[in-house]
Structure 1
């Protein structure tokens, strides 16, 4: 494959990202990223491309790596490209490979700005290895799709423009242009699973089936197509469950349970996985018993499925995803010294009085049990019964701000008919959270 052919293919692949604000290249100094960076630098001389810059993540896992940033800087200087070196701490864990990857992508995530693209050098052989590795781990259809050619990353996009290019083509290009690259000694260490596949398994497969790499990549493409169909099915099922709710103002992701409960078990898992994937890491297929327990709990129960990054609650006929502040018990109530100004609550957003300020002294508290509230024309009513009448989800009952004057309960935030006095012209408004309940 000639340089012109490879350049043209790269340019065609990157066409959708020609309008990006910046192209940042993940530059390890290895063969793949060296060729990618060199190709782009040459293309930039004849094509109108976004500004180019390189990112080198220094993991500090081995002594040899201390010289790599300087190698990368020298290479970038020769091309006239800026280089940013990011040093990361790799958390010890069961998988050093996985921990290093997590640290690397966390650094990329933080470095990528709005409408920027991060280009990485993974190639066709990497794709085949990824499929085989995930197959051996028992991955489902999504995992067997291997690496996507592009996906969102931080405020921008991650793009892998070399997935259709074999390692042999990259080596030929590097030799033709006399490029020097880093050979990571750890890439020869067979204790790492990917290295074992690359050096021991893939050569055996290729010796018996010369088209093994291409066939594995084609299988990954089939899996991606199948996953696309599953995603479309999930969207259809989720559309039925995304019904409006009286408590949407809480800002908590939720779904109606009944439409999901009517689906087969496989479609339930598919829809729920699609919904939860942006919110949390999911268990493997053998550890979904928490979902079954949640669905099968008694009608009057308030079951919880605890996941890696939060909890799924069932209450008031809906599923609610809680994370961050919603999992922390709000501190005890406090006196409201200046009711004319919003009051920030510890771990519970803030409250404010809209309209006329009732006479004080006032304080904010939370339900402890046994509270009663006097309503016009109804006399004193038990707060628990009032919350039941309005279908307040169980998880929010203990953190709904209550306005007291002395021991008298004056208002329950944001519940129509309980949130203030229409006669006196005021009501209690609660902004539940300053945190983002969205993407992890």
Structure 2
């Protein structure tokens, strides 16, 4: 005999039963209404974390103005606290995606450490997602469709109903006489998912009745395949994750040589894994920028521009620069008391280790042609010294230079490449960290 819906759900929830709190994304529709009722029913016979609901009001249609009151009524009848969050949906090419982004931004605001947010997507939604992404030419990761769980803010997002069909949820709702909202936009076939749901899948299932189950199973196979690709990527990235000559530079980077030893496909797989937390990636037809960067001559400084930043190459190393890296002021900064550290606007902190120079100092940035006195070597061109150090070109424009009057007095010590003048201490620069917005 097939297990009941509550029994199967309880088994699915087992990994999350020690969470501090459970939240339910409650739209008031069929899926989330059934999920809320199930969890409240299970909580009466099982020791579960405290349950609350959150309703996100997008304000995209007049009918939606009545939904918070409906959700409040349902939650009151079940004894569940409800939080209503109103969001602004940014206009864009895809209204569906913009609404989803706004919704998940709201969910992230309520998540405490270790807490779980449950959403009500079911097997039919999974089949639609797979088909939608297949038609857009997605790769293995995209065809894995919606994961059963993933990180969200400080906690986890969990989809506990993926094993159930919409018809099973409808049967449960009718059995328990549940009332839910029917979103008028769900029948608008101008939206791609609705077109698949109402026009394509009914035709497919008429010929192949088990199509939705099989599509969902394919998504599971793709998720497993993606897991193997991730394991392979981690193996390749471990070889490339060699220490940089500039450990103080807080930017993700990899050694290029170990990547070159791999096939093009394995290179792309490793880079996708590495870059996914950092930026949106191009499709498989737009990787020419990577090959140009990889194959450039050693003295070149090629750049691969991506959606949320840039991949730079310096010598035999690649560096990720988020878009915010360039967001700092080149304006001179006065340093009246060099005994104390100096915060540079958008560019980290500067300090002297040991004796600081006397007088009022000014921080400026490179214009070209700078010369500095190096103990034992006399006056040296700064550009040549930087070339000797191997400092990546994208850092040089941010390098703070200490002047007293018109004299270039000090440059941050770069891994001991050269010493400062003996009449003052070493100048140290701690660039902006990833926690401060570089990642």
Q: Give the TM-score band, short-chain normalised.
A: over 0.9
**Structure 1's 316 and 298: CA in aligned 2 closer, same or farther, altered over 3 A?**
closer
Secondary structure at the aligned position of 1:248 is classed as coil
Asked whether the equivalents of residues 24 and 117 of structure 2 are also in contact (C-alpha less than 8 Å), the reply is yes
TM-superposition CA deviations, 1:80-126 (whole Å, max 9, x none):
11111111111111111111111111211222121111100000111
TM-superposition CA deviations, 1:183-236 (whole Å, max 9, x none):
000000111111111111111111111111111111111111111111111111
Q: How does 1:172-321 map to 2 (within 5 A)?
A: 172-321=171-320
Q: Distance in 2 between matches of 1:261 and 1:192?
A: 43
Q: Distance in 1 between matches of 2:286 and 2:108?
A: 29
- 2:110 is aligned to 111
Asked whether the equivalents of residues 145 and 227 of structure 1 are also in contact (C-alpha less than 8 Å), the reply is yes
- 1:79 is aligned to 78
- 1:166 is aligned to 165
Q: Distance in 2 between matches of 1:370 and 1:439?
A: 29
Q: Distance in 2 between matches of 1:382 and 1:281?
A: 40
TM-superposition CA deviations, 1:268-307 (whole Å, max 9, x none):
1111010000001111112222212212323211111111
Secondary structure at the aligned position of 2:245 is classed as coil
Q: Distance in 2 between matches of 1:222 and 1:265?
A: 24
TM-superposition CA deviations, 1:1-49 (whole Å, max 9, x none):
99x8211211111111111111110000000000000110111111111
User: Is residue 363 of structure 1 aligned with residue 362 of structure 2?
Assistant: yes
- 1:121 is aligned to 120
Shift of 1:425: 6.0
- 2:18 is aligned to 19
Task: Name structure 1 gaps, 5 residues minimum.
Answer: none
Bigger drift between 183-192 and 90-99 goes to 90-99
Asked whether the equivalents of residues 375 and 422 of structure 2 are also in contact (C-alpha less than 8 Å), the reply is no
Give aligned pairs, total.
439
Q: How does 1:127-142 map to 2 (within 5 A)?
A: 127-142=126-141
**Structure 1's 413 and 293: CA in aligned 2 closer, same or farther, altered over 3 A?**
same
Q: Distance in 2 between matches of 1:16 and 1:152?
A: 14
Bigger drift between 134-143 and 40-49 goes to 40-49
Q: Distance in 1 between matches of 2:113 and 2:191?
A: 35
Q: Distance in 2 between matches of 1:18 and 1:90?
A: 34
- 1:46 is aligned to 45
- 1:37 is aligned to 36
- Give the RMSD, CA atoms, in angstroms: 1.8
Asked whether the equivalents of residues 299 and 315 of structure 2 are also in contact (C-alpha less than 8 Å), the reply is no
TM-score, normalization by structure 2: 0.96
Asked whether the equivalents of residues 373 and 421 of structure 2 are also in contact (C-alpha less than 8 Å), the reply is no
Bigger drift between 341-350 and 379-388 goes to 341-350
Secondary structure at the aligned position of 2:285 is classed as helix
Secondary structure at the aligned position of 2:350 is classed as strand
Asked whether the equivalents of residues 412 and 419 of structure 1 are also in contact (C-alpha less than 8 Å), the reply is no
Secondary structure at the aligned position of 2:83 is classed as strand
Asked whether the equivalents of residues 328 and 346 of structure 2 are also in contact (C-alpha less than 8 Å), the reply is yes
TM-superposition CA deviations, 1:123-177 (whole Å, max 9, x none):
0111111111111111000000010000001111100001001111111111111
Bigger drift between 11-20 and 413-422 goes to 413-422
Shift of 1:324: 4.2
Q: Distance in 2 between matches of 1:90 and 1:348?
A: 33
Q: Distance in 2 between matches of 1:419 and 1:29?
A: 66
